[in-house]
Structure formats: structure tokens, C-alpha cells
Structure 1
Amino acid sequence: MKADIIVVGGGLGGCTAALAAAKRGQRVILTEETDWIGGQLTSQAVPPDEHKWIEQFGCTASYRNFRDRVRDYYKRNYPLKEEAIANEKLNPGNGWVSRLCHEPKVALAVLEEMLAPFVGSGRITILLNYQVECADVDQDTVQSVLVKHTRTGNTLTLTGDIFLDATECGDLLPLAGVEYVTGAESKAETGELHAPEEARPQDMQPITHVFAVDYLEGEDFTIEKPSQYEKWKDYQAPFLQHKQLSWFAPDAHTGESKEFTMFHHGDLWGLWDYRRIIDPALFKEGTFQGDITLINWPQNDYWLGSIIDVNPDDRLRYLEEAKQLSLSLLYWLQTEAPRPDGSKGYPGVRLRPDVLGTEDGLAKYPYIRESRRIKAIFTVVEEHINAETRGNKGIERFEDSVGIGCYRIDLHPTTETNTFFYTESYPFEIPLGALLPIRVKNLLPACKNIGATHITNGCFRVHPVEWNIGESAGYLAAFSLEKGILPREVRENEEMLREFQEMLVKEGIEISWPEIGAI
């Protein structure tokens, strides 16, 4: 199969890259390893992590359109109460992680709707259940990639002019011979204040296998005891003061144990509605039997091994252990979790496979916080973003900005040193140089795999930023083809760069922030 642009990976960045390129008249093939496009929002089941200004500014027009469409989808298709319909800022789950907690299936429907005109016209071809296997590269130029169907074994060779890696782990980078880094770089490499003295390529953020549940008080939906339950019930990480399966979690600021509970009780915050995606109180009586929530808590972060650049047997073992940890957390909640009245267990917690489109009730794909990252022409480091190190310097401005983002630098306990890092940050700009590999000419990153560091990835990894990266990469690929030049030449020519940035702004991409304080 042949197209102008090949996008490998159908997560948020892949979808927006394909959408942007198609809007500019390019023909795109988009592949996806699972049977759901949408990545973090769908197959990984993570409601959007966003900054506090998201309803007013600080994202692309298409991301805002996505958010509007999600709310409209509920208002058109669900029996909402009148006051919920009238609420312009409807939050279907009333979860406190986000102003827009919603079902993964709704995100999927909206993304498919946004892509539909281009799929219908043949400008975008989506290949589901296809995983990249190898790449043909000649003279620093990718010629084609081979993708394999995960169920049938069928293979396809995809030929194009520009290739985008939007896979969750940066899987195309090693196959195409693109220089990349993983894990924590050394202080000597990045100059960052909080970088370690020695590089640790396997020291990455944990994965989490999310699952969906609802709660029916008085019912019993206790699952069969997971095979690794005893292991996880007794497990206590050496860097924590509490067991993994408990109502305690590490405080991101201090590392001390912080106590939570199931539902809000007194001064204790309840984790139940942290990522709640359906609040029955918003819907007409009888629509839902109970709350629906996504369990992506500190208790099911898996940090015993990285799944990137390890041997296949270890990778499979880590993935299975991550699933077992999540199932063990569910079983613990149902049978042993302490309740405020002194009793134990919430047997009314019911696993909801239908919410995630799977048989086992777990998300189709683990939540990936950290990917392989290209060695880029320009790398964004901690000192560009960290409010502590920047002091009163304010927002770092990049002449080649192609987008913006904002999120605290948030690193969950890592796989080797178990380091976690959380700090206030300034809003940031996304430099075009971070989207350009140092050598390979026609491959671009389109998600978490840009020229960021282990530390700055902690804020580049969130939903609206990945959306912006993919969208800008898609427009860059299309602009390069329109002009008959390589993507890197756009940055090298000041006149061309300004024309490209003007195009981005016209397409609804904000490339600079107003002067505002740290988040």
C-alpha cells in the first residue's frame, strides 16, 4: 500500500497527525496496534490530564473541538437531566482529575467522527490491529515499513514519502535506525539540575493497567482470587512506608505516605471519584445502576521492570505482572480494603469489561507514561520549564515554536531507582527542533517520543500536549510535501519557518502563551 504520509500508531498524536495531513490534501495511512484508535483516551482508558486554563485557552482548536464534541455526544445520546444539558462545562463523571471525565468509548466515537469525512473520501486509510515489524531505510531516508496483523499474521508493506512514529513506545525508531534515548539521561548529557550523575536507560516511569468498575452496595461481584494476589498483598516497595495494596500512596511532594480512602470520609479524600467517568446524578433516574470509575491509582502503578528495550520474555512477564497487580487491587478492594466502620471489603465493586471493550475488564493496552525519545536537533530540558530553576525568568520562548502545553513535571516512581519527582512548572512552548531527528530525514515523532528528556517528558506526556505534537507533526509533513522540501529545511529557512508558523496559527494552533505564572 502507498500513501503520501504513513503514520505508525493510532494514539492521540497519530490521530491528530493523520487529521492534520488529510486536511491539507495529503493521502495518509494510519496504523494501530489495537482495535481502537485514541491511545491514552481509549485503549489505555485515561481521562484527560489538563491544565487549569484549558476551558479558555492553551490548546489547539481541534482539541477544543474534541472536548466540545464529547459534551455534545452525551447531550445528544444520553438521557441527561435538564440542568446537566444546560451546563456548558458538563463533566459526565464529575471526576476530580479533570474537568472532562468521560467514557473511553465516547472518546473513540468522537475521534472516529472527526476522521470520518477523510476516511469516507479515501484520504485516510486506517489499519487496525497492525503492529510495525521492520523498516527499509536507504541513505538516511525511510523507504517503507512492514506491518503485521496481530491476529492473522498478515503483513503489508507501506510505502510513503514521510513517516511518522506515533506508537506508544516509539517502536519505529529502532527499526528505522533513528538515534534515540530511553530512561534517565545523565547530568553531563542534559545539564539538568535533577538529572542523575550517571545515565540509566532502563530507569523509566511505571506503566499502569487500568480497569473499569462500578459499585452496587449490597451486591457481591467478587472475582476469582488472582494467581499473584498473595505476592501483591504482601508487597512493600523498599522506598515506601506502606504496602502496595493499602489506602496509602506516596505524597508527590515529600515522598511520605499519604492516606486516602474509598469514598470521601471526614478529612480523607476518596479515590473512587478521582477518575470517575459516569456520575449517575447527572442522568435521569435509572439510567445507571451506579458510578463508573477508572482505576488508575498509585496502587496499581507497576515499576518492577521496563517494557522497552528488554528481552521479549521479560517484557511479557512485566506486562502480565502489571495486569496481575491491577486484578489484585480489585480483589483487595472487594475483600480486604478497610472501611471507615471497621469492616473490610467492598464486594459491590463490579468489574466492567464492556466499558473497555475487553474480555478481562482491563484496558486494551497499558498506560504508557514514557517512550523512546528521538535524539533531536533541539532537546527541551528541565531548565526550560521547571519554575524552581527558572525563578522569575517566566516562560521560555522558542523562535521555532509549533505549539504550547502546560502541566506540572510529574514523574511516578521509576523502574530502577524508584525515583519520583514532582515540581511546579511554567507553561511551555513546543520547539520545532524537538520534532526533528538529528540524522534521518523523513521520519518525525508524533507523540511522547520527541526531543524531551526523562524529566521534561513528565509534562510533555499528557493528552493536550500529545494532541498538539501530533497535529503539528502532521502539518509539518504536509507542508514539507507541498513545498518539496525536507522537514528540517522548514526550520533552517527563516522565511519558510514563518510561513509554516502562520499556517499553524491559521489552522488553530496556539504557538505562544500570554505571560502567566507557573502552574
Structure 2
Amino acid sequence: MKRRNFLSLVSAGSGGVLLAAPSITQAATTSRSKKIKNKADELAADVVIAGGGLGGCAAALAACRNGLKVILTEETDWIGGQVSQQGVPPDEHYWIETHGAPASYRDYRNRIRDYYKRNYPLTADAKSRTNLNPGDGSVSRICHEPLVTVAVLTEMLLPYISTGKLTLLTEHKIDAADVTGDEVKAIQAHDLKNDESVVLNATYFIDATECGDLLPMTGTEYFTGTESKSQTGELHAPEVANPKNNQAFTLCFAMDYQPGVNNIIDRPKDYDFWSTYVPKMDTPWAGKLLELNYSDPRTLKPKDLGFHPEGKKTGNMLNLWLYRRLVNKDNFAPGTYDGDITIVNWPQNDYFLGNLIDVSEKEFQKHVEGARQLSLSLFYWLQTEAPRPDGGLGWAGLRLRGDVMGTEDGMAKYPYIREARRIKAEFTVLEEHVGAENRRLVAGDVAGKKSADFYDSVGTGYYHIDLHPSSQGVNYVDFGSLPFQIPLGALLPQRMNNLLPANKNIGTTHITNGCYRLHPVEWSIGEAVGMLVAFAQLKNVPPRAVREQKNLLTEFQRWIRTQGLETHWPNS
């Protein structure tokens, strides 16, 4: 076999309702599988996982830990998904240090901190902090550099790579599938670096891609966009469904600031468009997109934002510089960093002029390039036109940090995608299960203080329901939710027997995706699916039977708890 491009090392509850709307876009009626043409170069394993994000890595760790042989593919050259290739520091909940995620996720977070303590010249104060936050960004308790995640996840996977249990194929994109009836037989990965293909054979396949790419390839039924109120009964659902209504995506970038230095980049080719662009939304935007204001997600009224790259206070306004700051120079020995480093994932570079779901590769790349031009235009605007507290315009010392993002232009390797194809699942999580207001309406004031109790829970999570402006002109939809469980039924396609989801492609709706799409939940989903495959293999039953047979479900839940997965929130 030819040398493959392996990783380069770096230092259901009660009250459930199934969607009954066949009119929503489904792969079986809109897309044909691309057949595998050449089986000359093949690899085999117990399970093949497509996508090396947090869900894919967690699934691989769980499956390998329990004796399975695994092949894990990743389209880019960095594993880690949201937190690495996409440059998004972890979005988490208040209790993440102690519960509300698997023990392995907290281990990952602590390894991030330990990596800094072992390898970076931290100040004595920073090094003494148990819960070190390297960047002290306000969005997360553990804002850190993307490459540290790559190093830590690599460290976690290496024992399985070196023993042959795990084959890790970076820069490999899945482009075809071999399907017979309700079974996936093999998938084909294209080596993007060497322009070769390899066929991957397995008993089970896990789709941990960012868009749910395996679903149309395998003919697995799925949903996209927005369901209608008549289909789901959700309080915040619109009257009319729209399969094309997906949340904006963002091409994030990293930057720092050098006072007194002129780092102004060439004027981006689309700057004239973006500098005057006013978003066209169902509820009016605050003004031009490239301004320090936006629509408040909760009220949709105009809200001002602050910006100061030296971290100074901006009145009562959020200083965007501090929001997703990856490096706080004050946490490190004097002279280590000239200044802070921050990530730009703001309302001003959310791209909603096109869709990345169920479009051609040419259309996909067109919109990614559009998002690149938007982000470059935002950066140029910050350098030249952003209002300063002293009355001047622009911060010429702002500098793109491609070295932080692993790219030449400073942009992320891959767009931050908030919404994917979602499987037509055995059980679909609705707003009535997790939305605070909708929950009170269906369960009463007392019961409405707690999310639905799923008898088949295999994980826990929490985030408010946060839907960014969409490709179809729907402004923010943002409201409160409750700490929730992850039902096993949402991880099981209704028809396919050996294909499972491990990212944002589980059985949620457009609305509930808004709280099931964040970092620790994706990890929880991936780990549960990895263990489900191992359990099904051990018991010689299809994954669906684990949920259908009460004794198997009880045994499975007990087993995953012994390995650190949480199935319920503490009563307190």
C-alpha cells in the first residue's frame, strides 16, 4: 500500500414527538450516493470515523479505549474542529469545571492547562491557578491557542496510534460511499495532499464531519434548515418551514496589536461592498455591518460594542478585544509576548449571504471565499476606520497572526459552521424538552424548572438557545434553556443500521441545535457514540437494540457511567 498522509506531530425521554413531515429535505429524495470507483488501496477497522473535530476525537478515544480498531479521518491538517482549525475558544456553561460533561472532557481541559504550565514561561501567579485561563477571554474559562489543542489531542491519541489501534488520516476528505440497503459497506477518502484515494472498510461508520457530509453520500435521511410550528409545535418555530434557512457561518481570524507600527494590509478586493453593506433581516439591523454595534440577540434592538486593543475599559460596553482573547500577556513572564492575541468571531464577520449545506463544491468554496473577504474587510476597517476613544480612526498596529491559525493569511483553516444536516432520528429533541419558556408551557411552572428527563440519557450539557442570523435573513433567535440530557434516541438514524452521528448532525431541530452544538456537548455526543459502537460489538446487537431492549439500555448506561460519562445532572 502507498504511504498515507498521517498526522504530523506538534510539540428518550418521556413526551417525545417524532417529526412527521416528509416534506423536509431528505437525502433519499435530493441526493444520490457517489459510488466508490477504485478499491485498489484499502484499509479496514472495526469503526471508521469521518471528521477529526471534538466529537470525532472523543468517539475515537472511547472506541480505542474499549478495544476497537479505529480509522479517523480529518479534512484539514489539524484535529480539534471548532477549537483548533476553526479557531473558536470553548463555549461552555457555568458548571463545566465539576459536572455537565464527561470526565474525559474535563481531562482534556486540564491537559490544556498543564501544557501551558509545563511549556510556557507563566508568571508565578498564573502557574499557581488551578483553573488557569491562558487568555482570560470573557467567553470561556479556558481561552487558549488552537495549536495547543492540536498538541493535547495528539498526546491523548498517541498511545492508540503507536499500538496500531488507531490510524489517523489527516488531509483526507470523504468523497464516496458504498451502500447496500440499510448498511454502509465502505467509504472512500481522498488524500488532498497526494491526490490519491483510499477505501475504508468497517463494521460501523461515524459521521463527525462539520456538515454531516456522510448523510447524503449514504442516502441517510436528514433534515436541514427550519421546521414549521405545525411540524414540531415549538414555541419559537416559524409558521412556514424553510430547509434553506441555516445559521450564518464565520471565518475566524487571529490578531495582535503593535503600538506605533503600521501593519495596514492591502485594501481587500471586496472592501467597497462590505464597508457599506447593511444586513437585510426580518428585524432591522442596527446599521452597517462594519460598525461597533449589532442587534442585541435577546431584544433585537441596536446595541453598541466597544473595542480597544490594549484591553482598556470601553465604558459599559463589551470590549470585543477581550471577548475571545487567547493570550493575556500579563499571564506570562515579562517580554514573552509584546501584546495580547485575540480571535475575531464577532457579529461583524458572521457571513449570511449564502449557504454551505446541500450546495455544490463550487458554491461552497464561493461562499467560503466571500466569508474570507468579509473577515479581511473587517480587519482592514479596524486598522483604518474603526473609531478610537481619542477621536481618531483606525488602529494601524493591528496585525494578522497566521502563525496562530496555521495559515498564511491569518484566517482559520476551516469555517466555523453552526448548523449541519441533522439525521431523521429515532427521537428528536424539541424546544419543549429544553427551552425554559416552552418547557413551562407543557410541564407547568414547577416541572418547567427542569428539562425533560430522558429515560435513555447518555450525556448531559447546557447552553442557552443561541441561533445566529441566518442565510435567509432571519435575525438572532436567542432565549433561555435548561440544563439538559442527551437522549440515545437522538443519536440513532431511523433506518440506517451502522451509521451514527457525532457532531451537530444528531436528532435536534433548527431551534434545539442552538444549544446542542457547543464544544462540550459535541464531545459528549462523540464519546457516547464511540462507546455505543463498542457495546453493540460486544453484545453482537445493532445499536438500535440497545435502546429498544430495557436490560441492554440499563447495562449500557451503567457501563458508560463507570467510564466517566454523566447521564443526569445533580439534583442541586
Q: TM-score, normalised by structure 2?
A: 0.89
Count of matched residue positions in the alignment of Structure 1 and Structure 2: 516
Q: Distance in 2 between matches of 1:429 and 1:15?
A: 21
Q: Distance in 2 between matches of 1:18 and 1:347?
A: 45
Question: Deviation string for 1:237-267 (max 9, x for gaps)?
Answer: 1231211101002101111111112123222
Q: Distance in 2 between matches of 1:311 and 1:159?
A: 26
Question: Deviation string for 1:279-317 (max 9, x for gaps)?
Answer: 000100000010000000110000111111123332222
- The residue identity in structure 1 corresponding to 2:481 is S
Q: Distance in 2 between matches of 1:473 and 1:349?
A: 43
- The residue identity in structure 2 corresponding to 1:258 is K
2:11 aligns with: none
CA contact (8 A) 1:212 1:356 kept: yes
Q: Distance in 2 between matches of 1:74 and 1:311?
A: 42
1:354 aligns with: 403
Q: Distance in 1 between matches of 2:521 and 2:302?
A: 30
Q: Distance in 1 between matches of 2:534 and 2:475?
A: 40
Q: Distance in 2 between matches of 1:230 and 1:151?
A: 35
Q: Give the C-alpha shift of residue 389 in structure 1.
A: 1.4
Q: Distance in 1 between matches of 2:90 and 2:316?
A: 26
Alignment counterpart, residue 123 of structure 1, candidates 160, 165, 175: 165
1:35 aligns with: 77
Secondary structure at the residue paired with 2:321?
A: coil
Q: Does 1:320 align with 2:369?
A: yes
Alignment counterpart, residue 294 of structure 1, candidates 321, 343, 351: 343
Q: Give the C-alpha shift of residue 459 in structure 1.
A: 0.6
Q: Give the C-alpha shift of residue 203 in structure 1.
A: 0.4
Alignment counterpart, residue 49 of structure 1, candidates 91, 95, 112: 91
Q: Does 1:273 align with 2:318?
A: no
Alignment counterpart, residue 231 of structure 2, candidates 189, 202, 206: 189
Question: Deviation string for 1:389-413 (max 9, x for gaps)?
Answer: 1123222100000000000000000
Question: Deviation string for 1:69-118 (max 9, x for gaps)?
Answer: 00000000000010111110110001000011000000111100111100
Question: Deviation string for 1:50-72 (max 9, x for gaps)?
Answer: 00111121110000001110000
Alignment counterpart, residue 254 of structure 1, candidates 299, 307, 316: 299
Alignment counterpart, residue 519 of structure 2, candidates 454, 463, 468: 463
- The residue identity in structure 1 corresponding to 2:478 is Y
Q: Distance in 2 between matches of 1:324 and 1:471?
A: 36
- The residue identity in structure 2 corresponding to 1:149 is D
- The residue identity in structure 1 corresponding to 2:243 is P
Q: Distance in 1 between matches of 2:44 and 2:314?
A: 58
Farther off after superposition, 84-93 or 262-271: 262-271
Secondary structure at the residue paired with 1:268?
A: coil
CA contact (8 A) 1:395 1:515 kept: no
Question: Deviation string for 1:128-160 (max 9, x for gaps)?
Answer: 111111111112000000110123220010000
CA contact (8 A) 2:286 2:303 kept: no
Q: Distance in 1 between matches of 2:108 and 2:382?
A: 34
Q: Does 1:413 align with 2:469?
A: yes
- The residue identity in structure 2 corresponding to 1:230 is D
1:175 aligns with: 217
2:188 aligns with: 146
Q: Distance in 2 between matches of 1:55 and 1:8?
A: 29
Q: Distance in 2 between matches of 1:107 and 1:316?
A: 26
Q: Distance in 2 between matches of 1:85 and 1:319?
A: 39
Secondary structure at the residue paired with 1:272?
A: helix
Secondary structure at the residue paired with 2:323?
A: coil
Secondary structure at the residue paired with 2:205?
A: strand
Show structure 1 runs of 5+ residues with no match: none
Q: Does 1:242 align with 2:291?
A: no
Q: Distance in 1 between matches of 2:508 and 2:383?
A: 40
CA contact (8 A) 2:252 2:345 kept: yes
1:380 aligns with: 429
Q: Distance in 2 between matches of 1:21 and 1:265?
A: 48
CA contact (8 A) 1:403 1:429 kept: yes
CA contact (8 A) 1:7 1:30 kept: yes
Secondary structure at the residue paired with 2:314?
A: coil
Farther off after superposition, 164-173 or 230-239: 230-239
CA contact (8 A) 2:52 2:74 kept: yes
Question: Deviation string for 1:168-221 (max 9, x for gaps)?
Answer: 000000101100001111222212111122211110011000000011111111
CA contact (8 A) 1:446 1:470 kept: yes
CA contact (8 A) 2:49 2:56 kept: yes
Q: Give the C-alpha shift of residue 483 in structure 1.
A: 0.9
Q: Give the C-alpha shift of residue 340 in structure 1.
A: 1.1
- The residue identity in structure 1 corresponding to 2:378 is L
CA contact (8 A) 2:145 2:404 kept: yes
Q: Distance in 2 between matches of 1:204 and 1:424?
A: 20
Question: Deviation string for 1:448-498 (max 9, x for gaps)?
Answer: 100000000001000000000000000001111111110001001100001
Q: Does 1:81 align with 2:97?
A: no
- The residue identity in structure 2 corresponding to 1:205 is Q
CA contact (8 A) 2:184 2:205 kept: yes
Farther off after superposition, 312-321 or 8-17: 312-321
Secondary structure at the residue paired with 2:500?
A: strand
2:55 aligns with: 13
- The residue identity in structure 2 corresponding to 1:84 is A
- The residue identity in structure 2 corresponding to 1:284 is A
Q: Distance in 2 between matches of 1:515 and 1:453?
A: 27
Q: Give the C-alpha shift of residue 335 in structure 1.
A: 0.6
Secondary structure at the residue paired with 2:87?
A: coil
1:424 aligns with: 480
CA contact (8 A) 1:303 1:418 kept: no
Q: Distance in 2 between matches of 1:101 and 1:231?
A: 33
2:545 aligns with: 489
Q: Distance in 2 between matches of 1:175 and 1:213?
A: 38
Secondary structure at the residue paired with 2:44?
A: coil
Q: Does 1:282 align with 2:324?
A: no
Alignment counterpart, residue 436 of structure 1, candidates 477, 485, 492: 492
CA contact (8 A) 1:185 1:201 kept: yes
- The residue identity in structure 2 corresponding to 1:77 is N
Alignment counterpart, residue 111 of structure 1, candidates 148, 153, 172: 153
The RMSD of aligned alpha carbons is 0.9
2:37 aligns with: none
Percent identity of paired positions between Structure 1 and Structure 2: 54
Q: Give the C-alpha shift of residue 332 in structure 1.
A: 0.3
Q: Does 1:473 align with 2:529?
A: yes
Show structure 2 runs of 5+ residues with no match: 1-42
CA contact (8 A) 1:43 1:364 kept: yes
